[in-house]
Amino acid sequence: MQNAQNPHEAMAAMQSQALDAIRTGQAATLEAVKNWNEAVAKMTPATPATPELPTELKDAMGDPSMIVDSVYDFAARLLELNKQFVHQLLDSSRPTP
């Protein structure tokens, strides 16, 4: 006989499986990109070094890693804000005694 899961346990299990599938897909993608870059590098003749971007342009564009971090930090704050809002909606929609 199979143990019955409560709704919270069932949702947690589904979320865990989804995250595992995403991690697996991401790992496969990273490996494919790495292999592709290595294969292309072997077939491509050596190219001269690209000139450095002017400092003003670099400063205007920003560091790509910092941009990614900033966008994801904002997304995390947005999710937390929305979570709080939904909890407040639930609280305000409960019947008053």
pLDDT for 3 equals: 62
* Mean residue pLDDT across the chain: 89
Span 57-76, average pLDDT? 90
One-character DSSP codes across 14-66: HHHHHHHHHHHHHHHHHHHHHHHHHHHHHHSPP-PPPPPPPHHHHHHH--HHH
In this prediction, residue 1 has a pLDDT band, given cuts at 50, 70 and 90, of very low
Between 59 and 31, the more confident residue is: 31
Q: Provide mean pLDDT across the span 32-43.
A: 91
**pLDDT tens-place string over residues 50-66:** 778 788 877 888 888 89
Distance CA 42, CA 36 (A): 10
pTM value surpassing 0.75? no
